[in-house]
């Protein structure tokens, strides 16, 4: 079938199969892919509203045993640069988020063997007791797998316990590319296989949680493997309808073990448009301005995206790999309006919350993203004293074992 014939099927609202998606992705001119994706965006969101959320990406620890080769953020167990945030530091971050109109933390971190499931439960409960309406969008599927292994409990039990403590929704991080050949090459197969990632999401959806889905492309995968990733997401969404949105971002190579070259902006726009065509059961697609910058983020709105993601306030992971874009609410709104759309704040469930906050009250401008901790600050979190250390390094630090 020619790309024009496939385009005709997309325009008629028909579902594309793998070979048709492949033909479009590899052969269709970029303007055609953009036009098709924009038409789908217009059918789904005809009022030309583009949403965004005010929240904060908090990485509660950078200590991680997974050691993914594309990650510039983690520190090995026992590293002098390793940190775990104290509960008080997290409360301060929540207070600052509420001050600028935010209502949610996106809470993710490394796979730290010295943080048991109880630490997460205590944190979530304490947050909910202090801030009852504040939302916790927390723990990507590999973190849930890590907790299941650490606590020797089945994934559904871990999810139920986290929900019982206050978990509201799951971010779709750690998906990278949902193909095990790629995951082995990226050294992220052991943290969670493609099936394990999908399975956590299946259990989360069955337990009533809504989640997002992500894709990190541009490392070692083929175009066909990117498509396989999209088709796996589409199949699970057919089954559970639990995904609220899809977010694609490009691999950021700086300071990583894997190294390499970052994908181009055109590659990003083609990938985003193809995702909009394939993911015909996803309501929302986010623009990834954090990796692409504000202007490509704005262009994303013509390539299928209907959401500008997060105002964010803080970010640590992408910054560690060399990307340092920052937009406060004023700039995000300007980008949306300059592209001819109407901005609306939203929550994680994509319920619209109203006009921009800065048009209702004075908000200090922010020209840089905060970080989890100031460089070199490794003050121990006081709560760690409440949990038995598990790693040799932590036991040594507490004097539980002698130096080796
Ligand atoms: S991507 Fe996540 S799991 Fe992988 S090394 Fe970095 S912090 Fe650890």
Question: Which residues, other chains included, contact 159 with Cβ-Cβ below 8 Å and sequence gap of 6+?
Answer: 144, 167, 200, 203, 204, 207, 209
- Name the strands in the sheet holding 307-310, side by side, starting at the edge strand that comes first in the sequence: 56-59, 104-108, 135-138, 169-170, 210-217, 243-250, 284-286, 307-310, 49-53, 342-346, 352-354
Ligand 1 pocket test: pick from 64, 67, 177, 249 the residue with the most ligand atoms within 8 Å of its Cβ: 64
Estimate to the nearest angstrom the gap between the alpha carbon of 221 and the chain centroid: 19
pLDDT at position 363 is: 84
pLDDT below 50 — which residues of the chain?
403-404
Q: Which atom of ligand 1 is nearest to the CA of 188?
A: 4
Q: How far is CA 196 from CA 52, 179, 189, 199, 345, in A?
A: 30, 11, 10, 5, 33
State how far the Cα of 81 lies from the Cα of 64, in Å rounded to an integer: 12
173 lines ligand 1 (CB under 6 A): no
Q: Does the CB atom of residue 68 touch ligand 1 within 6 A?
A: yes
93 alpha carbon – ligand 1 mean position (Å)? 22
Task: Check: CB of residue 170 under 8 Å from CB of residue 204.
Answer: yes
Q: Ligand 1 centroid vs 65 CA: distance in angstroms?
A: 8
Distance 83 CA to ligand 1 centre (A): 14
CA nearest neighbour of 235 among 194, 270, 286: 194
The position carrying tokens 């070692």 is 220
Looking from the CA of residue 67, the nearest atom of ligand 1 is 5
pLDDT of residue 315: 74
Per-residue pLDDT at 401: 65
Which residue, judged by its Cα, is nearest atom 2 of ligand 1? 110
Q: How far, in Å, is the centroid of ligand 1 from the Cα of 165?
A: 24
- Other beta carbons within 10 angstroms of residue 103's beta carbon come to 18
* Residue 229 backbone class (left: φ over 0; alpha: ψ -120 to 50; beta: rest): alpha
Say if CB 266 and CB 28 are below 8 A apart: no
Atom of ligand 1 nearest to the CA of 73: 6
Q: Looking at residue 404, what is its pLDDT?
A: 46
Which two tokens mark 111? Answer: 């796979």
Ligand 1 geometric centre to CA of 68 (Å): 5
Q: Tell me, in angstroms, the distance from the centre of ligand 1 to residue 289's CA.
A: 21
């Amino acid at each position: 079938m020619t790309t024009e014939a496939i385009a005709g099927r997309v325009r008629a609202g028909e579902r594309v199969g793998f070979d048709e998606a492949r033909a479009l992705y590899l052969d269709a001119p970029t303007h055609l892919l953009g036009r098709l994706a924009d038409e789908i965006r217009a059918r789904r969101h005809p009022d030309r509203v583009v949403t965004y959320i005010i929240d904060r990406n908090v990485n509660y620890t950078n200590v991680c045993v997974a050691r993914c080769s594309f990650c510039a953020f983690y520190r090995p167990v026992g590293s002098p640069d390793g940190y775990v945030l104290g509960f008080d530091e997290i409360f301060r971050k929540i207070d600052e988020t509420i001050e600028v109109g935010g209502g949610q933390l996106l809470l993710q971190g490394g796979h730290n063997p010295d943080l048991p499931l109880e630490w997460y439960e205590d944190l979530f409960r304490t947050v909910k007791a202090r801030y009852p309406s504040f939302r916790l969008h927390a723990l990507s599927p590999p973190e849930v797998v890590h907790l299941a292994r650490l606590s020797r409990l089945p994934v559904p039990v871990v999810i139920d316990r986290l929900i019982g403590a206050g978990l509201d929704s799951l971010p779709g991080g750690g998906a990278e590319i949902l193909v095990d050949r790629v995951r082995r090459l990226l050294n992220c197969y052991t943290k969670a296989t493609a099936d394990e990632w999908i399975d956590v999401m299946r259990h989360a959806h069955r337990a009533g949680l809504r989640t997002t889905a992500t894709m990190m492309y541009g490392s070692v995968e083929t175009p066909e493997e990117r498509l396989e990733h999209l088709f796996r997401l589409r199949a699970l969404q057919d089954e559970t309808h639990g995904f609220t949105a899809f977010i694609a971002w490009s691999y950021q190579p700086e300071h990583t073990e894997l190294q390499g070259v970052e994908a181009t902006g055109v590659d990003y726009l083609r990938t985003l448009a193809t995702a909009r065509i394939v993911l015909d059961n996803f309501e929302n697609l986010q623009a990834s301005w954090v990796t692409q910058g504000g202007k490509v983020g704005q262009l994303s709105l013509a390539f299928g995206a209907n959401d500008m993601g997060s105002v964010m306030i803080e970010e640590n992971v992408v910054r560690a790999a060399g990307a340092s874009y920052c937009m406060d609410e004023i700039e995000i709104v300007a980008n949306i309006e300059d592209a001819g759309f109407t901005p609306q704040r939203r929550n994680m469930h994509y319920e619209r919350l109203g006009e921009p906050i800065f048009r209702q009250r004075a908000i200090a401008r922010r020209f840089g993203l905060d970080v989890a901790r100031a460089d070199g600050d490794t003050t121990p979190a006081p709560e760690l004293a409440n949990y038995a250390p598990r790693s040799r390094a932590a036991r040594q630090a507490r004097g539980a074992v002698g130096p080796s």
